[in-house]
Amino acid sequence: MSIYKLYVVLVFYPVLVYSKEVVNLNKICDILSENSNRRCYIKENLASLVHSPNQLAFSSVTNTLYFGFDSGQGEYLPAVYNIDTKKLTVLRGVKDAFAMASDTNEVYFGGSYGIYRYSPILKSLKRLGVSNLDIWWIQVKSKIYFIKFPSLRLYYYENRKIKPVPQLRNTTINQFVFDSDDNIFFINGTGLFGVKNDSTDIIFIKNNPRFHCIAVDISGHVHLCSDDGVYVIGKMLQKVKKIYNINGVLGMTFDKDNNLIYSDSHDIIRLRPLSSHEY
Ligand SMILES: *[C@@H]1O[C@H](CO)[C@@H](O)[C@H](O)[C@H]1NC(C)=O
Ligand SMILES: *[C@@H]1O[C@H](CO)[C@@H](O)[C@H](O)[C@H]1NC(C)=O
Ligand SMILES: *[C@@H]1O[C@H](CO)[C@@H](O)[C@H](O)[C@H]1NC(C)=O
């Protein structure tokens, strides 16, 4: 225990440059959403990092943000940022937290040692009893779905067994999410694709711009990031429109009020809308 504690202290401080004790509000109207009712946002810097994560998860029950950071030892440690207290801590006991996701009550971590389930309320951590599992990406929608590394194939966990998602058995997937109707959207080196719930057809949606990350907001809308901004998929599958002009987004999640939280190469930022009388 004490050895582990020392290890955390040693690796944690060089990696996280600082975490602001006080909310630092960037009171600049620096981002405009691209939709018809234009809004101004302020960037709230939650943490600054040397190695930024490309996967973030948010737990609404405890108002905390989770992200993995490179320990410098080839493994990712899960950091926990409490939005209310502004405190940043490391969750102990997870050996590698590269991938992360949350559902209503739990947070899931995936990496070279398989999958962990963490309950922030009970503060209990469990590792799923599956060995030889290297996780690249994880999502939870009634079941645990994940992409294995290095094959980049999609599987799910049910009755202590790992099963492939049949219609995507032969497809390379970099990241995926479920929307509110349980349709699957995924990105790979070719572009953005969708698979309707109960259908076996893989629908090609778009390959321009090139999308690097995908996330679903709390109302089930699918967001994507590319070099030049953040996009959202409309109800008509072919409509993918830009909503934020932000460069260099690496990963995204949403807080309990559905504000976008994203990482870029240095920072983790929350975008908060300003009402018109504030600017
Ligand atoms: C996946 O590939 C196998 C072997 O090539 C083939 O038999 C199977 O039909 C394919 N499945 C799908 C869903 O394309
Ligand atoms: C998706 O398909 C499953 C299996 O048929 C069904 O039980 C479920 O209700 C569907 N979900 C939605 C949101 O339509
Ligand atoms: C992405 O997925 C599509 C649909 O299954 C597939 O045709 C394509 O080969 C995949 N791209 C890569 C780079 O694997």
Q: For the segment 15-66, what is each residue's pLDDT rounded down to a tens digit?
A: 444 443 333 444 556 566 666 666 788 899 999 988 888 999 999 999 999 9
User: Taking Cα atoms as reference points, which of 142, 216, 135, 234 lies closest to residue 179?
Assistant: 216
Q: Which ligand is nearest to the CA of 180?
A: 2
Our CA angle for 86, 10, 91, nearest 5°, is: 45
For the Cβ of 174 lying below 6 angstroms from any atom of ligand 3, the answer is no
C-alpha of residue 170 to centroid of ligand 1, in Å:
6
pTM of the model: 0.87
User: Taking Cα atoms as reference points, which of 274, 272, 253 lies closest to residue 263?
Assistant: 253
Domains of the chain are 3-278 (2.130.10.10)
C-alpha of residue 164 to centroid of ligand 1, in Å:
12
C-alpha of residue 216 to centroid of ligand 1, in Å:
29
Please indicate whether residue 277 or residue 221 has the higher confidence score (pLDDT). Answer: 221
pLDDT at res. 63: 97
For the Cβ of 170 lying below 6 angstroms from any atom of ligand 1, the answer is yes
Q: Which ligand is nearest to the CA of 195?
A: 3
